Amino acid sequence: MTSLPLLPVHVIDFFGAAMMIILSVMATGYAYRLKQLKPRNILCSYFFWFSVTLLIFAVSRSTGHILKYLFIVFDYPHLWRKLAPYSGGFNTLTFVAIATLTFYYANMRSIMERIREDAIKLKNTNVKLEKAHENLRDLNRTLELRVQERTQKLRQSEQKFRSLFEHSKDAVFFCDHEGKIADINAAGVELLGYENPGELRGKPLSMFFKDRKTWESYHSQLESKGHVKDFETVFVKKDDSTIIMLISASAIVDKNGVITGSEAIAKDLTAFKRVTETLVQSEKMASIGQLAAGVAHEINTPLGIVIGYTQILEEDFSDNKEALDYLKIIEKQAQNCRRIVADLLKFSRESLENKMGLLDINKSLEEILSVMEHSLNMDRIYVQRVFTDGLPLILADEGKLRQVFINLIKNAHDAMENDGILGIWTRQTDKGEVQVIVGDTGPGIPEEYISRVFDPFFTTKSVDKGTGLGLSVSFGIVRDHGGSMEVESPPREQEFVKAGMETVFIVTLPGANQANSLEDQATA
């Protein structure tokens, strides 16, 4: 029997090899039970197979060590030398198996993560598909109802368009790609002096332009820009008379961007131009009158002094005939200058003061609106007229009353700025008076300002927008006509409230008969 060096170490190695087998078996048993508890858990599967591989390695290594000691103890070392290479090779194979298993687990984990992500995506897709399917079922259930609703809305939209087209007071017309009129509303037919739309269909729009160059400019802008805004021109009517028109048009294009026609709205500016020119002329004459009055007053004082001192000198030089003649000439020419100044003053009073006369208030308001309504519409402020027919005439200075109503309309415009309704009512009171109510849908007047709106120089506007004299002057003009002016914010009458008015100014004027009675009483 061969002796063994380092006996304690070999004993520990021998029994250690045996313990390795026992512990590997126990570890494999625990891993197996864990795998049974969670069979779908890849980590538990990995622990089990890793334990099995370690068990094989432990059995292989420990068996080799035990056999080595047995062969040496029983004096068969040559057998161990033959067996040792096989034992070492098997141990190497088990290490390779462990490494392969570890790499396989890492790849399996990555694959399982991708599978889990795909499963989550698939689940989300299924949820979306379910929702889409539910929406599709709802759509199928309500499809007929929706079609009916859309058809009804389309019909209503068409009716609104047709109503706007037929009842608009401005000319609305459509042209084809050649510039010929395809359709036109009744207002346009009447405006051009024809009897029915059929007379105008197919006629080239260019034939109504008085100036050929103006038509070419209009057509060129429409083609290049695709629209024309506020294009002013002169149209020739059927009877060869002319009207001034303001046209806004848009080109109609197909899906390829090719112009197939145009649609346009034209407004008659003839009355507007006439009234504007009258107002400009009135303003010019008023300015000249004011200038003349100012100059006359400035000259009057030195002329009086010249005449006075001349007369004094005449007394002093009464014995000197030559000097007296010169002084007489100076006095005569100074008197001539005074007469010219008096004529200037007379002219200024005539240019600034209009005569009283009978006035149809509805007609006067329409003339004012014909001038101002365009600027209101530009800011999307629309006028609601409620005029009572058959109102009595009033005795008034038309120019001054125009100033009152223009001021009220302008104040309403400033209050709303844009997007609103200007309401104007006319009516007769039980006493035979004529009332004009001007209202707006603006922000209203704060309660603390109501009592001060007619005070001179009181205004809530910025410095560049008002002086605070407009309402006080208007109040004075109405009072001079024997009438009254009131303000309500909000209005008390339901008619104005239902119309959306936030502020109303009520102007009350006596009828012509009442005004004459008042004048007779004042004279008596």
pLDDT at 413 over 80: yes
- At 434 the pLDDT is 93
pLDDT above 80: residue 192: yes
Instruction: Say what the pLDDT of residue 522 is.
Output: 43
| Average of per-residue pLDDT values in the chain | 78
Give residue 308's identity as a one-letter amino acid code: G
Residue 524 vs residues 389, 394, 513, 519: alpha-carbon distances, Å: 34, 22, 17, 9
| Confidence at residue 69, expressed as pLDDT on a 0 to 100 scale | 67
Whether residue 425 has pLDDT greater than 90: yes
Residue 7 vs residues 1, 2, 15, 17, 65: alpha-carbon distances, Å: 14, 12, 12, 15, 14
| Residues 23-44 pLDDT 10s | 878 878 887 887 788 777 666 7
Confidence of residue 465 (pLDDT cuts 50, 70, 90): low
Q: How many CB atoms lie within 10 A of CB 290?
A: 13
Of 387-391, 397-401, 421-425, the poorest mean pLDDT is in 397-401
Highest mean pLDDT (candidates 63-72, 170-179, 354-363): 170-179
Predicted local distance difference test score (pLDDT) of residue 451: 74
Q: Residue 521: helix, strand or coil by DSSP?
A: helix
Mean pLDDT over 229-233 rounds to 90
pLDDT the model gives residue 502? 92
State the pLDDT at residue 352.
Answer: 41
Asked if the model's pLDDT at residue 424 lies above 90, the reply is: yes
pLDDT, mean of residues 448-455 = 77
Q: What are phi and psi of 185, to 5 degrees?
A: -85, 175
- Measured distance CA(503)–CA(488) in Å, rounded: 6
Q: Whose CA is closest to 409, among 439, 379, 448, 443?
A: 439
Here the tokens at position 255 are: 């899906």
Whether residue 423 is predicted with pLDDT greater than 90 in this model: the reply is yes
Per-residue pLDDT at 1: 43
What integer pLDDT is reported at residue 507 of this predicted model?
92
**Is residue 518 over pLDDT 50?**
no
Cα atoms in the 13 Å half-sphere on the side-chain side of 102? 7
d(CA 477, CA 233): 39
Q: Residue type for 295, please?
A: V
Comparing 107-121, 181-195, 355-369, 383-397, which segment has the lowest mean pLDDT? 107-121
Asked whether the beta carbons of 248 and 264 are under 8 A apart, the reply is yes
* Interval 143-190: pLDDT, tens: 767 777 777 777 776 666 666 667 778 888 889 988 899 888 888 888
Write the pLDDT tens digit of every residue in 271-330: 777 666 655 545 554 565 566 667 777 787 788 888 888 888 888 888 888 888 888 888
**Burial 44-69, CB ≥16 within 10 A → b, else e:** bbbbbbbbbbbbbbbbbbbbbbbbbb
Q: How many other CB atoms are there within 10 angstroms of residue 3's CB atom? A: 7
* For range 109-123, the mean pLDDT: 70
Least confident segment among 76-90, 122-136, 204-218:
76-90
Better-scored residue on pLDDT, 212 or 78: 212
pLDDT band at 117 (very low <50, low <70, confident <90, very high): confident
CA of 69: how far to CAs of 9, 72, 264, in Å? 12, 5, 115
- Is residue 426's pLDDT more than 90? yes
Greater pLDDT, 114 or 358:
358
| CA angle, 330 then 336 then 340, to 5° | 145
pLDDT computed for residue 523 by the predictor: 45
Smallest Cα–Cα separation from 505: which of 467, 478, 465?
Answer: 478
User: DSSP label at 198?
Assistant: G
Average the pLDDT over 492-501 and give the result.
89
Q: How many residues does the chain have?
A: 524
What does the block give as tokens for 446? 């704060």
d(CA 322, CA 327): 9
Predicted pLDDT at 347: 47
